[in-house]
Amino acid sequence: MKGDYTMTVLNHILMNPKLTCILIAFSACLMCSYEPGKYHNEKYKFSINFPQDWKVIEGEHGTVVMGVMPANNDSGIFKENINIIVDLLDNNVNVKEYVGHQISEMKRLMKVTILENGNRVINNEQAQWFIYSYGIREYGIKAMVYVFCKNHRGYIITCISDIQTFDIKRQKFEKIAYSFKFDK
């Protein structure tokens, strides 16, 4: 008896094109591997995992995406965040040249001080990174930047905080940046 009712409902759904589409869409949603906090960008073919309590904003202030940390302080100058910018590159620019150019421009425009730098492989992709600091009025800012070059594009991941709390947040910033992956 119960099986007959189930078959009747299923036949009714399958005979109705609108209900069939809804059922297929619903089934696809159940089968997809959604991960809370995971951001995926179809246009630039990458993903990154932001913490679930962070606000994720696309296309603000020249970024592709920005993950904004929940407000723990009210400095009023900026919100601590991790943002990704994507630049179109000339065919023969490598990551070392690209980073060199970025640092030169930052020193010229913002008077930054480079504190650390190095190379790192993140999810099988070669990246260069650096940490810099600078001031806005009496307020100190510190940031960690990871740079990748792939398919004639430069991908810049910037993790930024006030200078006093940066070292406390560094491990969290690194974990998020290390989740960055290019689509296959």
- Do residues 137 and 115 both lie within one domain? yes
Burial of 133 (0-12, 13-18, 19+ CB in 10 A): middle
- Do residues 101 and 14 both lie within one domain? no
- In three-state secondary structure terms, 146 is strand
- Do residues 92 and 170 both lie within one domain? yes
- Do residues 27 and 48 both lie within one domain? no
- Do residues 113 and 170 both lie within one domain? yes
Mean pLDDT of 131-145: 89
Confidence (pLDDT) at 135:
87
- Do residues 17 and 71 both lie within one domain? no
Query: Cα separation of 17 and 12, whole Å?
Result: 10
- Per the structure, the complete domain to which residue 12 belongs is given by 2-31
Query: Cα separation of 179 and 63, whole Å?
Result: 18
Please give the span between the terminal C-alpha atoms of the chain, in angstroms, as a whole number: 49
Query: Cα separation of 58 and 41, whole Å?
Result: 10
Whole-prediction pTM? 0.77
- Do residues 11 and 71 both lie within one domain? no
The answer to whether 78 and 160 are in contact (CB under 8 A) is yes
Burial of 50 (0-12, 13-18, 19+ CB in 10 A): buried
- Do residues 161 and 124 both lie within one domain? yes
- Do residues 26 and 48 both lie within one domain? no
Structural domain count, the chain: 2
In degrees to the nearest 10, what's the CA dihedral of 23, 41, 37, 57? -110
Question: Residue 48: CB partners within 8 Å, gap ≥ 6?
Answer: 38, 39, 65, 67, 82, 84, 157, 176, 177, 179, 180, 181
Residue 130 predicted with pLDDT over 60: yes
Question: Residue 162: CB partners within 8 Å, gap ≥ 6?
Answer: 73, 75, 80, 139, 140, 141, 142
Mean pLDDT of 12-31: 39
- Do residues 19 and 68 both lie within one domain? no
Which CATH number belongs to the domain containing residue 109 in this structure? Answer: 3.40.1000.10
Least confident piece of the model among 30-39, 103-112, 141-150, 172-181: 30-39
- Do residues 73 and 13 both lie within one domain? no
Mean pLDDT of 66-88: 82
- Do residues 42 and 128 both lie within one domain? yes
The fraction of the chain above a pLDDT of 70, given in percent, is 77
